[in-house]
Amino acid sequence: MKLTVLALAALLFASAGAALADKGDAKVDNALAFKMKDIDGKDVDLAQYKGKVVLFVNVASKCGYTPQYEGLEKLYEKYKAQGFVIIGVPANNFGGQEPGSDADIKQFCSSKYSVTFPMLSKVSVKGDDITPLYKYLTTHAKTTGDVKWNFEKFLVNKQGEIVGRYGSKVTPESKDLTGAIEAELAK
């Protein structure tokens, strides 16, 4: 009888733990363990990208680095069939360079740069209101610390582990970035 009560208690404790994990209270162990909103306001579970190599890029429409959208789209087109995805993350944290609404951002990206890679809803990538995804990225990358500017890039492997962090000046076409992407795709 005592063993049955203990077994029941253990089962209830495990169920409660699973319920907490569903609410996001569990320890996050990879960059694809987050739920976000896409540019259209729909729920996105980043876990759907497990098994792919992912490049997270905080983007802005009115930045000196904005022309990187063109290179990002070319990079996406070149490698997407091999299991690569870019996820654009609009943020207005730097000089007010992403002031528009999600609809404005989507229109800009599609009309000016023909962006087809997934875009998330605008969030904060630093400060007190940092989105949990970026809190994770900036504290678990080999080089930790706040995102410095628009178009910083985080490369994530097929298991959701951060394998590279690249500053804004690193272009999508750079050998450092493309070499790292190719290496991860080959694994």
At 35, which helix (H) or strand (E)? Answer: strand 35-37
The 162-166 sheet, strands edge to edge: 84-90, 53-59, 153-156, 162-166
Give dist(CA 70, CA 143) in Å, integer: 27
Q: Which of 63, 141, 183, 185 is catalytic?
A: 63
Return the DSSP state at 155: E
What's 180's domain CATH number? Answer: 3.40.30.10
Number of domains in the chain: 2
Give dist(CA 26, CA 7) in Å, integer: 23
| pLDDT string in tens for the chain (187-residue length) | 544 444 444 444 443 343 333 334 457 889 999 999 999 999 999 999 999 999 999 999 999 999 999 999 999 999 999 999 999 999 999 999 999 999 999 999 999 999 999 999 999 999 999 999 999 999 999 999 999 999 999 999 999 999 999 999 999 999 999 999 999 999 9
* Neighbour count for residue 92 (Cβ, 10 Å): 19
Task: Give the structural domain span for 59.
Answer: 31-186
Let me know if 63 is a catalytic residue.
Answer: yes
Same domain for 169 and 113?
yes
